[in-house]
């Protein structure tokens, strides 16, 4: 029973097919995915946090970077500090994914993360007072962070000012990203990031 997430889905059968993700996508058995921040003070501690809890944590964040629009930050602010509310949203989304796909929703989430994680990004370097954008490989930990961020942002933007609930929007994005659908926000962001990196080579 301890191996079932939310007492519903067995995480022991979930396969991580991307070899770079094997050490970073944590599928530790937990009925309630809540580590109480035990990893916070350890370097690279978050790689031991259950991947579903990391998705919950991304929904709690108040802002995710300079390109985030004000409306998204305001919407995210409504969940700040309400971890069990966010956890219930993720559980509902996974229920929806299970009904739609007839598969283990944790496996679908892992597939979505693997599909939407960019392999290349750009960074700014400075030579003699002049800045350049150069292409760099992305580490596995950052790839996972970016995929989680983009999936959670897609859900928040998908539910903003619409009749769709946050759990429905999250389920839509997970299913789309797992299928590699080009209409998925996370897939679009991956393609955009990699395209910019190719042009900066």
pLDDT tens figures, 125-141? 988 889 888 999 999 99
Closest CA to 115 of 144, 138, 73: 144
Greatest Cα pair distance in the chain: 61
Identify the CATH number of the domain in which residue 163 sits. 1.10.455.10
> Domain residues for 122?
4-199
Residue with tokens 């809890």: 53
Q: pTM of the predicted model, to two decimals?
A: 0.85
Closest CA to 179 of 93, 77, 108: 108
pLDDT tens figures, 7-26? 888 888 888 998 988 888 98
Q: How far apart (Å, rounded) are the C-alpha atoms in residues 152 and 47?
A: 18
pLDDT tens figures, 25-65? 988 888 888 888 888 888 888 888 889 999 998 988 754 44
Count of structural domains within the chain? 1
Other beta carbons less than 10 A from residue 86's beta carbon: 21
């Amino acid at each position: 029973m301890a191996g079932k997430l939310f007492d519903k889905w067995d995480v022991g059968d979930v396969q991580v097919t991307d070899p770079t993700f094997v050490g970073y996508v944590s599928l530790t058995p937990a009925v309630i995915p809540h580590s109480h921040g035990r990893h916070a003070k350890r370097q690279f501690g978050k790689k031991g946090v259950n991947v579903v809890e990391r998705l919950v944590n991304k929904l709690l964040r108040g802002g995710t970077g300079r390109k985030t629009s004000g409306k998204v930050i305001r919407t995210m602010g409504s969940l700040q500090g309400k971890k069990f509310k966010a956890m219930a949203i993720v559980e509902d989304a996974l229920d929806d994914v299970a009904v739609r796909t007839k598969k283990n929703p944790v496996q679908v989430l892992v597939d979505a993360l693997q599909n939407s994680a960019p392999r290349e990004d750009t960074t700014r370097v400075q030579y003699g007072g002049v800045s350049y954008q150069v292409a760099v490989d992305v580490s596995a930990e950052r790839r996972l962070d970016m995929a989680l961020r983009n999936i959670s942002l897609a859900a928040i933007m998908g539910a903003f000012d619409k009749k769709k609930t946050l759990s429905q929007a999250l389920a839509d994005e997970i299913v789309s990203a797992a299928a590699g659908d080009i209409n998925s926000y996370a897939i679009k962001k991956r393609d955009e990031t990699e395209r910019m990196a190719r042009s900066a080579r």
